[in-house]
Chain A
């Protein structure tokens, strides 16, 4: 198995910059998910690793070997396409055996390897069929088998689950993850489905418009999004955001959102004052907020917002309440028994440690800003 390292990799198609100066390490034996909206450059990035595209600039390493200009054949990668790209004129057996035949391995060895991988993926009884006689899920397994049979050092998956129905996707998601752990293979999985990413990944790399937004464990990406894009792309429903203006009263710094005031910590205040920031985005996840009937006097200095209930969507396990706060819609996930009346006035409480603050201009999380400043000027 190998570690895959990208250094300042850029890929342009004419004037379109599909991948922009990406520095990224795919750790050895880990399951990394590339997450981003459609057209963000995920597939391009994956194809760069596979050697299908050649970077416009930058380098790609497998461990310490520079593979930037090597053809796919010399990289030993397994690739599963979104549409599986099975050969329609070959049986499942021949499809899986194809990579081995190209390597001119002896027939007995090919046979045993094909059966081994077919057993692993539980498609042994399908070996005589043609791809057109398979269901989507079965085709997906065959494609996976074809990628795995050559024992690749990296497994690359381009939205392999997107053509499956919702239920099957959930099952295969879990199976795929287990399989990867069992084989201990370095895997890179592309998806635009954030739930899929959260559930499968050891590490998530969020990408938007060809630029890497954040790399981290699912928890990190979820709880400490590096910027507004990540905060609002991940989570369902995504994080709520409200823009507030920075005010200083008697030396304490607040953000004012609608009628509410939220006091900033010493550290944040300092940054805000030094940088002359006038506006901040206050954000929190819907499941981190609570709805209360009356405004408590809150000693902890939590974020308390006043809002009008707009609509309640009961989902069984929980309710999603949409409220209007300072003219903006805000969603809160509540236990199923909390069902405030429409247009009633309620209060939203978000614990202090769950409130996220972002710089309006750069979209950066203030915490990351502080960290970066500390790194730049170590005192």
Chain B
């Protein structure tokens, strides 16, 4: 009786608190002009826009050419975008596994699908590992007392600074050693282990920065929220699950996107640990471009565009969040 009443009161209290804090965490609304209004800023704006635009234009053009080439009958390089013929032929060939009009089928459709699936598995795996590990550790470092707390954070920064090349040699040595215990004849177990190891190794690379980011998000939650909930008799785990986590949701989503993109775009780790048994889009492109004789670039352009697409989509949709998180790590 007593219990259910207090639970209800905790719930309503939490709702109110969360609402309040959501409001506080939101960045203040942009307040119009910040420079002096009586000064004409049009010239400055125009000048800067022009300079930045011109400087960035070449790169931007490269992207445009890549995407357009994936639909063209030739690799485009500028003015020829008007004379080329456009179709979805390249995309069809890509999914049929024919990498040039002349060549036969080098891959099956299933191969291509598996390549995409593998890329997704790596990306999602990295996301999951990074999220679980850094949300837990970020919370502990932000909210709990333990000896060596500051040291641990310093270590994280130092680790982040450590050269990946140096690590990867030893990480691979461990990989070779542990693979020796997996029965080679069981291909499924073997490949699964390869995948899992790669995912963890790649995720580990993201861990120091992610914990640092997550800690920053937890730091922003006022202590009063936790206290008031605890005073009202909620257990610590409950507080964690029902208050803290909902409050850092924006942080978690930012982190998830980061981790996903990191796993999705990875080349070095999948090259070292998975290639050639398990291919991803990165190693697929590497392989196709590398085999000069058979390269028909418009199809590669299609593969590249396919690979690029989720990144751009994610990025444009969430760039505000990403910028916020990126700059959150360095407030001095």
Q: Do chains A and B touch in the complex (CB under 8 A)?
A: yes
Question: Nearest chain B CB to A80's CB is how many angstroms away?
Answer: 17
Question: Nearest chain B CB to A101's CB is how many angstroms away?
Answer: 19
What residues of chain B lie closer than 8 Å to A13, measured between beta carbons? 31-32
Residue of A nearest to B40 (CB): A71
Residue of B nearest to A54 (CB): B37
Question: Nearest chain B CB to A279's CB is how many angstroms away?
Answer: 41
0 or 1 for each of A62-106: is its CB under 8 Å from B? (1 = yes): 000000011110000000000000000000000000000000000
What residues of chain A lie closer than 8 Å to B31, measured between beta carbons? 13
Cα separation A54 to B37 with both chains bound (whole Å): 6
What residues of chain A lie closer than 8 Å to B37, measured between beta carbons? 52-54
- A72–B32 contact, CB under 8 A? no
Interfacial residues of chain B within 24-47, with CB under 8 A of chain A in the complex: 31-33, 36-39
- A14–B32 contact, CB under 8 A? yes
Cα separation A72 to B37 with both chains bound (whole Å): 10
What residues of chain B lie closer than 8 Å to A51, measured between beta carbons? 36, 38
Cα separation A54 to B38 with both chains bound (whole Å): 6
Task: Determine the interface band of chain B, counting residues with CB < 8 A from chain A.
Answer: under 10
Total A-B contacts with CB atoms under 8 angstroms apart: 20
- A71–B36 contact, CB under 8 A? yes
Cα separation A267 to B7 with both chains bound (whole Å): 67
0 or 1 for each of B232-253: is its CB under 8 Å from A? (1 = yes): 0000000000000000000000
- A70–B38 contact, CB under 8 A? yes
What residues of chain A lie closer than 8 Å to B32, measured between beta carbons? 13-14
Cα separation A71 to B32 with both chains bound (whole Å): 18
- B interface secondary structure, majority: loop
0 or 1 for each of B33-73: is its CB under 8 Å from A? (1 = yes): 10011110000000000000000000000000000000000
Cα separation A37 to B20 with both chains bound (whole Å): 25
Cα separation A70 to B39 with both chains bound (whole Å): 8
Cα separation A53 to B36 with both chains bound (whole Å): 6
Cα separation A71 to B37 with both chains bound (whole Å): 8
Cα separation A72 to B38 with both chains bound (whole Å): 8
What residues of chain B lie closer than 8 Å to A52, measured between beta carbons? 36-38
Cα separation A92 to B33 with both chains bound (whole Å): 29
What residues of chain B lie closer than 8 Å to A14, measured between beta carbons? 32
Cα separation A69 to B36 with both chains bound (whole Å): 11
Residue of A nearest to B35 (CB): A52
What residues of chain B lie closer than 8 Å to A53, measured between beta carbons? 33, 37-38
Cα separation A72 to B35 with both chains bound (whole Å): 11
Interfacial residues of chain A within 1-34, with CB under 8 A of chain B in the complex: 13-14
What residues of chain B lie closer than 8 Å to A70, measured between beta carbons? 38
Cα separation A52 to B31 with both chains bound (whole Å): 14
Residue of B nearest to A69 (CB): B38
Chain A CB within 10 Å, residue with most, of B33, B38, B39: B38
What residues of chain B lie closer than 8 Å to A54, measured between beta carbons? 37-38
Cα separation A54 to B36 with both chains bound (whole Å): 8
Cα separation A138 to B39 with both chains bound (whole Å): 32
Question: Nearest chain B CB to A326's CB is how many angstroms away?
Answer: 38
Residue of A nearest to B37 (CB): A54
- A: residues with CB less than 8 A from B are 13-14, 51-54, 69-72
* CB pairs A–B below 8 angstroms (20 shown): A13-B31, A13-B32, A14-B32, A51-B36, A51-B38, A52-B36, A52-B37, A52-B38, A53-B33, A53-B37, A53-B38, A54-B37, A54-B38, A69-B38, A70-B38, A71-B36, A71-B38, A71-B39, A72-B36, A72-B38
- B: residues with CB less than 8 A from A are 31-33, 36-39
Question: Knowing that A13-B31, A72-B36, A72-B38 are A-B contacts, what are 7 other residue pairs whose CB atoms are under 8 Å apart, sorted by A's residue number?
Answer: A51-B36, A52-B36, A52-B37, A53-B38, A54-B37, A71-B38, A71-B39
